[in-house]
Chains A and B, each alone.
Chain A
Amino acid sequence: SAVISQKPSRDICQRGTSLTIQCQVDSQVTMMFWYRQQPGQSLTLIATANQGSEATYESGFVIDKFPISRPNLTFSTLTVSNMSPEDSSIYLCSVRLYTGELFFGEGSRLTVL
């Protein structure tokens, strides 16, 4: 398995500001992903974090709004930029191992006022 540390676990932010979420995994993994989960909803993939290169974004998500970095195999950050109340959600880091298993962090619960 993989142990994923994600921080902050929760935050309350003002409209128009930006927040960076960090994700650290305890082992080298093939893939790192960022998901968003609205209350009571399923998991929506934001992007695949690629080591040393630009992330691959899913439809509806853009780099200017959700810039992602992955400087090495075990660490990634997601920034939520110019936040609005619609960005209030849980943001989840996940990693996929060489065995195919996918694990999630505990999530970062973001509230935008």
Chain B
Amino acid sequence: QQQVKQSPQSLIVQKGGIPIINCAYENTAFDYFPWYQQFPGKGPALLIAIRPDVSEKKEGRFTISFNKSAKQFSLHIMDSQPGDSATYFCAASMSNGYSTLTFGKGTMLLVSP
């Protein structure tokens, strides 16, 4: 009930490509869905987050698509750059600020020059 399933586990794209990372959740009480970006040796950084009142959110080259009925959400990186090479984690929780987040297992993205 609390799982968040993330795929793929790893992904290689060429510079300029559009990597897509997918996540699926089970708990229908979840209403906050963030993505984190983690570089080696660093803590995860909050990248972008969405709440279910919208189906899409864009911040720069990063877009979250959200499908409430399917209980799925995905991260798209437009015009990907080698500097985007990192591990990406999706997460889900209730948005009340007092809940813990459930994390996916992560996707290691490599953008080749």
Give the B-binding residues of A (Cβ under 8 A): 1, 4, 6, 30-31, 33, 41-43, 45, 48, 92, 96-107, 109
Task: Please measure, in the bound complex, the distance between the C-alpha atom of A30 and the C-alpha atom of B100, giving whole angstroms.
Answer: 11
A-B contact count (CB 8 A): 52
Task: Please measure, in the bound complex, the distance between the C-alpha atom of A41 and the C-alpha atom of B49, giving whole angstroms.
Answer: 22
Q: Across the interface, name the chain A residue whose C-beta is closest to B104.
A: A42
Q: Is the interface of B mostly helix, strand, loop or mixed?
A: loop
Q: A99–B97 contact, CB under 8 A?
A: yes
Q: A41-B106, A45-B100, A100-B95 are in contact. List 17 more A-B contacts (CB 8 A).
A: A1-B46, A41-B105, A42-B89, A42-B103, A42-B105, A42-B106, A92-B44, A96-B97, A96-B98, A97-B97, A101-B46, A103-B46, A104-B36, A104-B43, A104-B44, A105-B43, A107-B43
Task: Please measure, in the bound complex, the distance between the C-alpha atom of A33 and the C-alpha atom of B91, giving whole angstroms.
Answer: 15
Interface size for B (C-beta < 8 A) is 23
- Within 8 Å by CB of B43, from A1, A101, A106, lies A106
